[in-house]
Chain A
Amino acid sequence: MSENKIIAVLKDNVWTNNPILIQILGICSTLAVTNLLSNTLIMTIGVALVTAFSSFTLSAINNLIPRKVRMIVQTMVIAFYVIIVDILLRAYAPEVSKNLGPYVGLIITNCIIMGRAEAYAQANPPLLSFWDGLTSGLGYMAVLMLIAVVREFLGFGTLFGVQILPLEFAAGGNNWTIMVMAPSAFFLVGILLWISKTKMLKDSTQGGKK
């Protein structure tokens, strides 16, 4: 695993091939959990760890999996790690588990995990697949946290539950209720897509001129 490859995978997953901005995967959870930073952080850490470990496992046993049951095995491995996360949260962080409600279980349905297993882990060694899964999760985390900062700030006037804007902001009804609700994430993802695409196009054009 060369250093160049490690950096290339990191850059690819966080920026040039970001799961949300480029691959448009994991949009459901982007809409659902990004109105509070604390929930977003825990959810995205869960996704990053599950993606990393399931990619590692699937890459390690790739040569043993019969083609006919490939996707079933992938789903089972992903479900295994998600349930482990769920069990650990229920036992050691009951409050977090209570706050996230059904969302931990729904990590199984996150397209990024299956996407990386299919697109990368099948054709690459376990450690590199682990790194690919982890960095895909980081790319997902970066975008979701960015959206969550805007939504929590404008929706509640807080960041990580700490009051930033004066209490009168929410009490006076000046907060943006739309930011608390799922549709606002659509607008924010759209704006982020627009900005990142423009930047990428600009970079590639400038790179071409050189």
Chain B
Amino acid sequence: MITIYKDKKDIPKNIEYVELNDVFFNQTTVNKLDSKAKTIVKKIHDSELDGKYKIKSKFNGVTLDVDCLSTGCKTVLNVKYFPDKVFCLKECGDNALEVLYGLDDGAVYSDYAVIPFDMNSVKVSDEKGTRVITDYEELKEWWNNEK
């Protein structure tokens, strides 16, 4: 399950935080894409990943560079392929969030609540430590509590 931070100071010093998901994806994650990415792109974009660097758009079937993926989709792929880093969660739409919350591993940060309606269990990490939350309302409450 993914780990969520709500305060940047709670992110361990030895773990890199990435705010600009577009840049990180375009420069780094793109080189690691494989069949696992196909499923994610299909779920979020309803588009086909065509090799490493192209997607077939759902709108008119035109082939686009993979840098045209949405920031939300790029965020999910960043988290998927780099579970040892923490990525900014703020630009994920609801469809990307649902996929993100279902990942086996990875870490994200936002200082305000960003939760899909159908959420899975997540780990939350703050100054008190790390614990598992399985309920939407409980997660919202954790996020909204004073830091």
> A and B: real partners?
no
Identify the A interface with B (CB < 8 A).
none
Please report B residues at the A interface, Cβ cutoff 8 Å. none
